Amino acid sequence: MKLYSFFRSGTSHRTRIALNLKGLDYEISYVSLAKNEHQQLDFKRLNPQGFVPVLETESGLLLQSPAIIEWIEQQYPEPALLPADALGKEKVRAIAALIGCDIHPLNNKRVLEHLRQLGLDQNQINAWCAKWIQDGFSALEQILAQDPTRKKFCYGNQPSLADAYLIPQVVSAQRFQVDLSAYPQINEIYQHCMTLEAFQKAAPEQQADAF
């Protein structure tokens, strides 16, 4: 498998985590969003939207990180990224959707570029990002605190799809100088996940294109 990835892309980051949690071997092809390589014709032949990640497999090209991760889960069911029971699956997917649908899209590259075109400076852009991260994290903190079955991860006692989504969003929050002290549950999960090799190897600073 080949993953088309950018070190600072949250969607690429979550996909790297999922692949690593499954223990899968994959090659990385680096696509620089900073140099707008994702807008070049060669890459748009892979993904007409010009988005990373793209996962190249024997079955074909896979697009959009939620669909890619679900494909990985179905093709390689162990270790599972989703609980066995229907309610557990719903809870994990709900956390992933909270992050992937309601937080992340509002602070990705194309949105920030448009804000710059509208005349916002970096402090204003940071404030924009912080608002949506804080709104989402405040809700997520309550969800995590209200789950009596939660152990060291977002759900239960093993890493799941939800953790693969959460850790990149915490990294993004740090990048935009969001004060995370108000979110002890989220911080605890982040600290624990970062003791695991799958998360360490997926970290942006560990990618070859980070330098």
Report pLDDT digits (tens) over 148-179. Answer: 889 899 999 999 999 999 999 999 999 999 99
| Number of compact structural domains in the chain | 2
First to last CA, the chain: 24
pTM equals: 0.96
Q: What are the φ and ψ backbone dihedral angles of 82, each rounded to 5 degrees? A: -130, 145
Tokens representing 90 are 């719903």
Question: Does one domain contain both 74 and 96?
Answer: no
Among 57, 79, 101, give the residue marking a domain's end. Answer: 79
Q: Does residue 28 contact residue 82 with C-beta atoms inside 8 Å?
A: no
Question: Does one domain contain both 95 and 144?
Answer: yes
In the chain, the largest separation of any two C-alpha atoms, in whole Å, equals 50
Cα separation, 2 vs 82, in Å, equals: 24
Question: Does one domain contain both 28 and 51?
Answer: yes
Element (H, E) at 93: helix 86-102
Residue 12 confidence (pLDDT) above 90: yes
Among 22, 52, 79, give the residue marking a domain's end. Answer: 79
For residues 139-145, average pLDDT: 97
